Each structure stands twice: as C-alpha cells, then as structure tokens.
C-alpha cells in the first residue's frame, strides 16, 4: 500500500496553518511506517490530497477516472474562510461551492475535529459521504516543557526577566482575533504583548492593516518565525492568548498544551468538547472577558491547569494520528 500525499502550491501554503498540518501529516505517516510519495508521477494506490486549488481538483479527477481510491483532507470550511482575507465574506458562498466540489471526490473525507465534521456533514453535496475526524496532531518529542528556553526567548526579543508576557500566533487576518489582541495591548500597558505570524497586508482588510500599524511600547509584531522560536515562546512567555473567531482545529493551542503553557482562548464551538474552561484552559467570549481573565491570571487568582492541558496534547501525538490514518487507508485498500 503506497500513498500519494499531494499538496498544491506548497510555497504558498507553507507558512499557514494548512502548511503546518501537512508537515504534521508527513511526520505521522513516517512514525506509522506507511509508505508514501510526494511525487504525483510515481506509482501509488491511494491518493491523499490536502489542497483545493484547481490543479488539486484535476489531479483528483484523474485519479478517480483511473480507479484510484481518494482520501480528501478537508482542512477548510466556509465558516473559517469567512472573515479571513479581504473580500472573503462576499466570496464565501463561492468558496463553499468549490470546496464541496473538491471534497466530494473523496471516498473518505478526513477533517480535524468533530466540530468541522458536523459542519461538513451539513453541506449539500456532502451528505451521506464518509467523513472521519482525525486531529492534525502534534510532535510531543519537539513541543514540550523546557525551562531553559525562558531566558533564551527573553534575550532574543529583549524582554526583561520580570516582564509579564502575553503572546499570540496567526496570520494578519481578522478571524485570528488580532484586532482584540491589539486592543488588549492598549488596555493593559503593564504587560508585554507579542504576535507571531505574517501574511501580506494587501489581503488583510482596512481594520487589520490599521491595527498592525499600531505603535505601542508594549506591543511587538515579530512576523513569521521558525517552529524553534515558537517553542521558545511557548516556554519563555507567561500566557498564550488565542482570540480566534473560528477554526477547524487550531494547532497552536495543542502546542501550548504540550509545553504546559497557560492559555486563554476564545469561547467558540470548535473548542467545546475538548478544551474546558477552568479545567485545561481558560476561556473568554469577548475583549472585556479577555481583559478580565488576563488580570485575574497575573494576579494569581486562576489556578494552574497546565497538567490537564498536557493530557489534551498527549491524545493528539503523531504516533496516535499515524495509526488512525493507517486505518483509513486500510479501509479503502
């Protein structure tokens, strides 16, 4: 059994959550001992396709015509596309039509969470399709608690040892909650705020472009950084803030859990079944609640829940994810 892992425009998606998910997928297959190729010209038995661009659609159509079985990985929904880049709100229905056209080619559709599975199951054109939820997973051998990284992180970004640091991760899009992040930096000048991630501002929308240009002594936009530096932040900062408005999973929160980092996340349906307020993370509905929870955290009034958070990460280890993907492939072979 040989799998073709096909990804279109790898350079384009490489710095996004989708790009990270695909790298995770490759690692999971390695650990599960599954033979695969990344070259669409090689021989293969099952096509596992990760992207929904035009070439991806035609690769899947050709595979279907040739009698190949297809696993279509549904990393995106209309709901997480909307409120993303500029014009995404007015084009979301077209986007939904297109991804349904792509995903429907799959003999099995894989999506990261039960939440995204429920959304996809409700789409006309996908009703009755076999949809399996499998996390994008995490490398627990890499993302882990490492107290030696605290000093390294603070030296890299010129923070003092006594600084209280809040960090966020995401593209420069409204959906990631960057507007609230900047507003919180304004409201809480006694704390340092740093945002990791980048996307071209031309696609970001006027409000986000204005927010990115905000100049505050306690606010830093670090741009795109390597996983090593994200790992430093997970260990060297004090609090991870995830004010996202919509996700299909949200890999960074799993990384934070793996590093036993305290986290406050947006209280949205995607997190309902696996991240519990006051049990393994803390949640806030809006910018006022985020401000309140941050103040409570730094005043020592919120108990530490990071050990329970680590249990969330353990359930999504690459070794487990690889075995789950293997079962999907074997069901088709």
Q: Give me the chain's average pLDDT, please.
A: 93
Q: According to the model, what pLDDT value does residue 200 have?
A: 87
Task: Answer yes or no: are the C-beta atoms of 66 and 237 closer than 8 Å.
Answer: no
Residue 288 Cα distances to 180, 284, 294, 295, angstroms: 9, 8, 10, 11
pTM: 0.90
Average pLDDT over every residue of 95-101? 95
Average pLDDT over every residue of 248-261? 95
Average pLDDT over every residue of 94-105? 95
Average pLDDT over every residue of 26-43? 91
84: three-class secondary structure by DSSP: coil
Give residues with Cβ within 8 angstroms of 12, minimum separation 6.
none
Q: According to the model, what pLDDT value does residue 17 have?
A: 66
75-79, 177-181, 325-329: least confidently modelled range = 75-79
Q: What is the CA radius of gyration of the chain?
A: 20
Average pLDDT over every residue of 131-146? 94
Q: According to the model, what pLDDT value does residue 12 have?
A: 61
Q: Indicate the pLDDT class of residue 82, thresholds 50, 70 and 90.
A: confident
Average pLDDT over every residue of 154-158? 97
Q: Indicate the pLDDT class of residue 129, thresholds 50, 70 and 90.
A: very high
* Nearest-angstrom CA–CA distance, 47 and 76: 18
Helices (H), the chain: 10-13, 17-32, 54-65, 78-81, 88-103, 114-121, 149-156, 178-187, 206-212, 227-236, 251-258, 287-298, 306-314, 318-332
Q: Indicate the pLDDT class of residue 15, thresholds 50, 70 and 90.
A: low
Q: According to the model, what pLDDT value does residue 7 have?
A: 82
Please write the tens of the pLDDT for every residue from 160-210: 999 999 999 999 999 999 999 999 999 999 999 999 999 888 888 889 999
What domains appear along the chain, each with residue ranges and CATH number? 2-137+317-332 (3.40.50.2000), 149-314 (3.40.50.2000)
Please write the tens of the pLDDT for every residue from 210-239: 999 999 999 999 999 999 999 999 999 999
With a cut of 60, say whether residue 310 has pLDDT above it: yes
With a cut of 90, say whether residue 322 has pLDDT above it: yes
With a cut of 70, say whether residue 13 has pLDDT above it: no
Tell me whether residue 322 is exposed, middle or buried, using C-beta atoms within 10 angstroms of its C-beta: 0 to 12, 13 to 18, 19 or more.
Answer: buried
With a cut of 60, say whether residue 14 has pLDDT above it: no
With a cut of 70, say whether residue 102 has pLDDT above it: yes
Q: Indicate the pLDDT class of residue 94, thresholds 50, 70 and 90.
A: very high
Percent pLDDT > 70 in the chain is 96
Task: Pick the more confident residue, 165 or 50.
Answer: 165
Q: According to the model, what pLDDT value does residue 232 have?
A: 98
């Amino acid at each position: 059994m040989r799998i073709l892992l096909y990804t279109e425009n790898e350079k384009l998606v490489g710095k996004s959550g989708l790009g990270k998910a695909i790298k995770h997928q490759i690692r999971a297959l390695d650990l599960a001992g599954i033979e695969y190729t990344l070259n669409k010209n090689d021989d293969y038995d099952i096509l596992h396709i990760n992207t929904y661009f035009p070439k991806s659609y035609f690769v899947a159509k050709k595979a279907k015509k040739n009698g190949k079985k297809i696993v279509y990985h549904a990393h995106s929904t209309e709901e997480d596309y909307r409120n993303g880049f500029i014009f995404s709100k007015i084009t979301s229905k077209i986007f939904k039509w297109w991804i349904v056209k792509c995903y429907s080619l799959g003999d099995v559709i894989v999506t990261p969470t039960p939440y995204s599975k429920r959304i996809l199951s409700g789409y006309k054109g996908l009703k009755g399709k076999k949809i399996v939820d499998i996390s994008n997973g995490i490398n627990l051998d890499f993302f882990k608690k490492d107290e030696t990284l605290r000093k390294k992180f603070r030296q890299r970004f010129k923070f003092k040892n006594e600084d209280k640091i809040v960090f966020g991760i995401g593209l420069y899009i409204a959906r990631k909650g960057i507007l609230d992040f900047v507003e919180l930096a304004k409201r809480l000048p006694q704390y340092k705020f740093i945002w990791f991630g980048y996307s071209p501002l031309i696609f970001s929308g006027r409000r986000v472009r204005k927010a990115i240009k905000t100049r505050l002594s306690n606010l830093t936009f670090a741009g795109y950084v390597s996983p090593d530096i994200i790992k430093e932040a997970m260990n060297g900062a004090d609090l991870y803030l995830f004010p996202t408005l919509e996700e299909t999973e949200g890999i960074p929160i799993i990384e934070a859990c793996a590093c036993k980092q305290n986290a406050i996340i947006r209280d949205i349906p995607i997190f309902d079944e696996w991240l519990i307020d006051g049990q393994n993370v803390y949640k806030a509905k809006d910018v006022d609640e985020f401000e309140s929870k941050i103040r409570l955290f730094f005043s020592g009034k919120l108990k530490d829940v990071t050990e329970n958070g680590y249990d969330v990460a353990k359930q999504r280890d690459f070794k487990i994810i690889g075995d789950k993907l293997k079962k999907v492939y074997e069901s088709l072979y």
